[in-house]
Structure 1
Amino acid sequence: MAALKKVATLALAVLLAATVAAPPAVVRAAMSCSTVYNTLMPCLPYVQMGGSMPAQACCGGIRTLLAQANNTPDRRTICGCLKNVANGASGSTYVTRAAGLPSKCGVTLNYRISTNVNCNTIN
């Protein structure tokens, strides 16, 4: 169950991490995997069970994470955290659902979520 939660969170964050518009500079701590997982936890039910639309809290979490990832190191960290979780999960159904979350939440990304994503190419 924990691996499934991490897979769902991973796939979603990977999609969202690469194409964040830079928000105003704010002094804060570097992004952590803990922050990524906690912020995207409301997306877990959708990723695990599907449905017509994810919860509003899920889409809000995606937008929050994107707003916080205002530099390349943070975006790459998010990608790495989520990729590690996805690679540890069995089956691709969860990753496929997570990959669809950005469009369901009205977020546009310039890459596809995948367990094979090269996080070093994210700017």
Structure 2
Amino acid sequence: MSRNIIPTYSLLSLFLMSLCFVLANADVECTDVISNLFPCQGFLMNGDNSPSVACCSGAQTIAKQFQDSDKPDRESICLCLKNAAINLPIDLKKAAMLPALCNFTTTIRIDPNVDCTK
């Protein structure tokens, strides 16, 4: 394991633990959302040029869950991704490219400025 990845895993673990408390009353667990995106770490945070198949599968799962959920659950998913964008060293340009690169459409974004109430 490279030295550059170890701090990222630690940062990701701390982030997941903190979100467990923030979204404890939601039907959608933030840990599940982030777990689905965990394979995207290399693409979103570590400089990989393209997302892996596992990354795309996880991102597609989140997009489908977002689409099929009611408003409170969509808001929870959005808040989880928004907080990830705020607290983790995510390349926002790559995050915006993820739907196109993984062949899915969604209205949800990994963006620190997104309004999750809409």
The reply to whether TM is greater than 0.5 is yes
Q: Cα offset for 1:109?
A: 3.0
Confirm or deny: 8 A CA contact 2:40 2:55 kept in the other structure: yes
The answer to whether structure 1 residue 41 and structure 2 residue 2 are counterparts is no
Unaligned runs of at least 5 residues, structure 1:
7-28
Confirm or deny: 8 A CA contact 2:44 2:91 kept in the other structure: yes
The normalised TM-score by structure 1 is 0.65
SS at match of 1:109: coil
Write the distance in 1 (CA, Å) between the matches of 2:103 and 2:40.
14
Change beyond 3 A, Cα 1:34–1:110: closer
Radius of gyration: which is bigger? Answer: 2
Show CA shifts across 1:35-60 (max 9, x none): 00111111111112131x31111111
Write the distance in 1 (CA, Å) between the matches of 2:83 and 2:98.
19
Aligned residue pairs: how many? 96
Write the distance in 2 (CA, Å) between the matches of 1:104 and 1:81.
22
Higher relative contact order (CA 8 A, sep 6+): 1
RMSD between superposed Cα atoms in Å: 2.4
Confirm or deny: 8 A CA contact 1:80 1:119 kept in the other structure: yes
Q: Cα offset for 1:88?
A: 2.1
Unaligned runs of at least 5 residues, structure 2:
1-7, 16-25
The answer to whether structure 1 residue 61 and structure 2 residue 72 are counterparts is no
Change beyond 3 A, Cα 1:104–1:34: same
Write the distance in 1 (CA, Å) between the matches of 2:64 and 2:108.
18
Percent identity among equivalent residues?
Answer: 36
